[in-house]
Amino acid sequence: MNITQNILTEKAIELLKTLIRTQSFSGEEDKTGDAIEAFLRSFGIETKRQHNNIYAFNKYFDESKPTLLLNSHHDTVKPNSAYTKDPFDAHIEDGKLYGLGSNDAGGCLVSLLATFVHFYEKEGLSHNIIMAATGEEEDAGEKSIRALLPILPQIDVAIVGEPTLMDLAIAEKGLVVFDAVVSGTPSHAAHPNDDNCIYNAIETLQWFKDYSFDKVSDALGEVKLTVTQINAGKQHNVVPAQVDLVVDVRVNDCYSNQEISDILQKEAPCKMTPRSLRLNSSCIDPDHALVKSGLALGRKTYGSPTLSDQAALTCQSVKLGPGDSTRSHSANEFIFVREIEEGIDIYIKTLTGFLQ
């Protein structure tokens, strides 16, 4: 197989147009999965499929070598009501490729697929390569990369394709969402009550506002705790028994989610129940050879506050991809065509430095 980078880039952009035109909300990615399989098979690459997770191994996969995972997702959120363009009309306008999922994370996905094709037949690489185009990322579903990882060989390092302007996110915050309950004594509103849970919540909310965790990460800064929802009472003349709060905690790489849960359940002035502890923070050693290869190309490193499928990985990983995360989930989503061209070039050059 002898294909130029320019042709690979053209084919990647055409694939992205196909993906945009094909509805692929989380859990409904079967048709985009078909398109990704067809793309890889057009280069003579054997694909495997689990649910809507499409994956492939480089031609000279050697079990004695460590393995690099290239991963991005092909599911999308549903378009919001502010769209003025057809979210499924993939078209280029003023250098921008418009369409739902173009930026998050279609541009990253097709760029990684093109990169995988570039390296597929190369011999003598330091690492094996697995390409995984996965589903259900947007809702962290059970048939996402979490279902795929147990059947893959051991992964030693990973690139997760998400829009980062092709800078290297060497750490990513985790997430724990808590349901919190502030208790009190229910009563008729006409009678005295010194244990009104709504008034009790004032002190509790202030506690959350003032609270800070001790450990600060070089890459990710402080753990960020935010009360995002509050609910209490059903009628005007009844003092309710409790106020329900939702607390969103973005966890840096100094803590595990279990540690955050243990701390808050011990110290918070109300009952705290975590919904899940599986979305842990992730990071890669800043001195890792993969990071150094990117830095040698003039890319920057940073810590990312947003969540991705990195949270499912236990190996070291870096988040890297074309596009800008501020465009994700926005109306009239787009990615610049030049960002895809640049993304493929930087991916290939970064991996060339790392794998050889």
Statement: residue 271 has pLDDT above 80 = yes
Residues 79 and 129 in one domain: yes
Using a 10 angstrom Cβ sphere, with 0-12 exposed, 13-18 middle and 19 or more buried, the burial of residue 82 is exposed
Domain count within the chain:
2
Statement: residue 2 has pLDDT above 80 = no
Q: Which residues contact 91 (CB under 8 A, 6 or more apart)?
A: 97, 98, 99
Summarize the confidence of residues 51-78 as an average pLDDT.
97
Of 274, 303, 329, the position where a domain reaches its end is 274
Percent of the chain with pLDDT over 90: 97
Distances (CA, A) of 212 to 22, 176, 208, 253, 271: 45, 15, 8, 15, 18
Summarize the confidence of residues 284-299 as an average pLDDT.
97
Q: Are 170 and 284 in contact (CB under 8 A)?
A: yes
CATH number, domain containing residue 106? 3.40.630.10
Residues 43 and 67 in one domain: yes
Residues 240 and 337 in one domain: no
Residues 218 and 202 in one domain: yes
The pLDDT of residue 332 is 96
Neighbours of 345 (CB within 10 A): 18
Residues 94 and 184 in one domain: no
Residues 155 and 106 in one domain: yes
The pLDDT of residue 342 is 98
Residues 106 and 254 in one domain: no
Residues 195 and 338 in one domain: no
Q: Are 147 and 55 in contact (CB under 8 A)?
A: no
Of 274, 305, 320, the position where a domain reaches its end is 274
Statement: residue 157 has pLDDT above 90 = yes
Compute CA 24 distance to the chain's CA centroid, rounded to the nearest angstrom: 17
Statement: residue 356 has pLDDT above 90 = no
Residues 179 and 161 in one domain: no
Q: pLDDT (tens digit, 9 = 90+) per residue, 123-132? A: 999 999 999 9
CATH number, domain containing residue 252? 3.30.70.360
Local confidence band at 1 (pLDDT 50, 70, 90 cut-offs): low
Summarize the confidence of residues 282-288 as an average pLDDT.
95
Q: Are 39 and 113 in contact (CB under 8 A)?
A: yes
Residues 94 and 218 in one domain: no
- Smallest CA-to-CA distance from 72 within 32, 37, 104 is with 104
Residues 312 and 164 in one domain: yes
Of 249, 274, 299, the position where a domain reaches its end is 274
Identify the domain containing residue 289 by its residue range. 5-172+281-355
Residues 117 and 16 in one domain: yes
- Smallest CA-to-CA distance from 70 within 149, 159, 171, 169 is with 159
Give the whole-angstrom CA distance, residue 175 versus residue 206.
22
Q: Are 32 and 106 in contact (CB under 8 A)?
A: no
DSSP string, 82-130: T--S-TT--EEETTEEESTTIIIIIHHHHHHHHHHHHHTT--S-SSEEE
Summarize the confidence of residues 6-30 as an average pLDDT.
97
Local confidence band at 78 (pLDDT 50, 70, 90 cut-offs): very high
Statement: residue 346 has pLDDT above 70 = yes
Summarize the confidence of residues 211-227 as an average pLDDT.
96
